[in-house]
């Protein structure tokens, strides 16, 4: 295991995308675990999905009464990012701000270029001019594209993205590598695998399915149900992020005698791909148990098997051996347990049947 070399106690941490699903959970976790930490959050709070959920997450953070500052704005605003770094001088930066979603990138490419490329460039430039101990940033399992080899390893070539979203995430890794090499910025990229949980993103399948089933609409299951996804519960993702934050990659000398940049990439996934039909079965059982749907709900009448969508891949499957080896951690929340927590949250937030 690696030795921690970044002490978060008493430090200032900048979290971009702080009103987002992973961002808000990370902020709450940092306040729960770390003494005297100051967290600066920034989020543009776009209407890509229901902003009420985002404001609800922020309200929960506010209620903690900790050393928390929030700025509503975009990381694509270079002047704003420069001001944040100048005013607060963060020691650690966690970049989770991004325009998410594979399918949305097919119809709205501008949003991805602005947030995922220009925004990330602004973060890198700020880290270059204001010395930071560690930059941690979100990549995605989508960078593996139509990779035939499973499980997906960070040693695999990832040169064939099948969506613009995936291409922007791969570019983040390349940009971070260049800045690490040129300016000695310790950076770690995290490839997240299908994150889910309470107060998650309504555009994700489990949330969208629940909304539709509750409204009596038909859900579409892509690739005729023959897709597999490495569903990863949000608490497991956050656990991985917190551990990784505390070890900044160190500059080393390679076998050729040349310096190796302080740069790493890890997968964070459950390493247990679930078939979509099994996933839907578990989801419906937990929604009935939580009272979101009636016990006699006719699921067969509300299911439609359809072909694969552009930009989708048939399977995602994380090889997390490097994360286990370096940080002694692997995600382990079962899909049933995770969906149960989501269903209970949904019942409390939206009401029972």
pLDDT at 63: 98
10-residue mean pLDDT series, the chain (353 residues) = 97 98 98 98 93 96 98 98 98 95 84 95 98 97 88 93 92 97 96 96 94 94 86 98 98 83 97 92 96 94 86 84 97 96 97 79
> What does 188-241 look like in DSSP terms, one character per residue?
EEEEE--EE-TT--TTSHHHHHHHHHHTTPPEEEGGGGT-EE--EEHHHHHHHH
Does residue 314 contact residue 148 with C-beta atoms inside 8 Å?
no
Q: What is the CATH number of the domain that holds 151?
A: 3.40.50.720
Catalytic residue selected from 165, 233, 263, 317:
165
**Domain membership flag for residue 182:** yes
Give the chain's domain count.
1
Spatial distance between the Cα atoms of 184 and 256, rounded to a whole number of angstroms: 19
Residue where the block lists tokens 């570019």: 171
Q: Is 33 helix (H, G, I), strand (E, B) or coil?
A: helix
Helix then strand then coil, % of the chain, to nearest 5: 45, 15, 40
Residue 190 lies in a domain: yes
**Structure confidence at residue 311 (pLDDT):** 65
State the burial class of residue 351 (Cβ atoms within 10 Å of its Cβ: 0-12, 13-18, 19+). Answer: exposed
pLDDT of residue 247: 98
Give the count of beta carbons closer than 10 Å to the beta carbon of residue 235.
16
Q: Which two tokens stand for residue 139?
A: 């990549």
**Residue 67, domain member (yes or no):** yes
Q: Which domain holds residue 138?
A: 12-196+232-271+317-332
Token duo for residue 106: 């097919």
Catalytic residue check, 165: yes
Q: Is residue 278 part of a domain?
A: no
Q: 288: buried, middle or exposed (CB in 10 Å: 19+, 13-18, 0-12)?
A: middle
Q: What DSSP string runs through 55-73?
A: HHHHHHHHTT-SSEEEEE-
Determine how β-strand 68-72 pairs with β-strand 38-43.
Answer: parallel
d(CA 261, CA 48): 36
CA distance 161 to 148: 13
Report the distance separating Cα 107 and Cα 105, nearest Å. Answer: 6
For residue 44, being part of any structural domain is answered with yes
- CA 36 to mean position of chain CA atoms: 25
Report the pLDDT value the prediction gives residue 259, as an integer from 0 to 100. 83
Q: What is the pLDDT of residue 106?
A: 82
Provide the 3-class DSSP secondary structure of residue 40: strand
Whether 203 maps to a domain, the answer reads: no
Residue 13 contacts residue 94 (beta carbons within 8 Å):
yes
Angle, CA of 92, 173 and 273, to the nearest 5°? 100
Residue 321 vs residues 69, 245, 281, 315: alpha-carbon distances, Å? 36, 18, 30, 19
User: Do the domain assignments include residue 202?
Assistant: no
**Is 310 among the domain residues?**
no
């Amino acid at each position: 295991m690696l030795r921690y070399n970044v002490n978060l106690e008493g430090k200032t941490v900048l979290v971009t995308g702080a009103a987002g699903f992973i961002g808000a959970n990370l902020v709450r976790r940092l306040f729960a675990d770390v003494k005297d930490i100051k967290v600066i959050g920034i989020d543009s709070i776009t209407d890509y999905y229901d902003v009420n959920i985002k404001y609800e997450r922020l309200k929960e953070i506010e209620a903690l009464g900790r050393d928390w500052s929030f700025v509503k704005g975009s990381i694509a605003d270079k002047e704003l990012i420069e001001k944040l770094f100048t005013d607060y001088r963060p020691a650690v930066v966690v970049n989770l701000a991004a325009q998410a979603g594979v399918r949305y990138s097919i119809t709205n490419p501008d949003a991805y270029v602005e947030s995922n490329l220009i925004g990330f460039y602004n973060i890198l430039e700020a880290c270059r001019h204001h010395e930071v101990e560690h930059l941690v940033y979100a990549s995605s399992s989508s960078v593996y594209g139509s990779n035939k080899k499973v499980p997906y390893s960070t040693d695999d070539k990832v040169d064939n993205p099948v969506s613009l979203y995936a291409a922007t995430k791969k570019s983040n890794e390349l940009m971070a590598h260049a800045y690490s090499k040129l300016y000695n910025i310790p950076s770690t990229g995290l490839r997240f695998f299908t994150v889910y949980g309470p107060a998650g993103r309504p555009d994700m399948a489990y949330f969208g399915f629940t909304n539709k089933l509750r409204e009596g609409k038909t859900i579409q299951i892509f690739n005729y149900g023959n897709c597999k996804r490495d569903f990863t519960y949000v608490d497991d993702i956050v656990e991985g992020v917190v551990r990784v934050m505390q070890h900044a990659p160190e500059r080393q000398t390679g076998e050729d005698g040349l310096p190796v940049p302080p740069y790493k990439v890890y997968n964070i996934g459950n390493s247990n791909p679930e078939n979509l039909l099994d996933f839907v079965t578990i989801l419906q059982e937990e929604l009935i148990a939580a009272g979101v749907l009636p016990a006699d709900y006719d699921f067969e009448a509300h299911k439609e098997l359809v072909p694969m969508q552009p930009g989708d891949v048939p399977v995602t499957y994380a090889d997390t051996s490097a994360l286990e080896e370096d940080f002694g951690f692997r995600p382990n929340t079962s899909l049933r347990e995770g969906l149960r927590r989501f269903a209970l949250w949904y019942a409390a937030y939206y009401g029972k049947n």
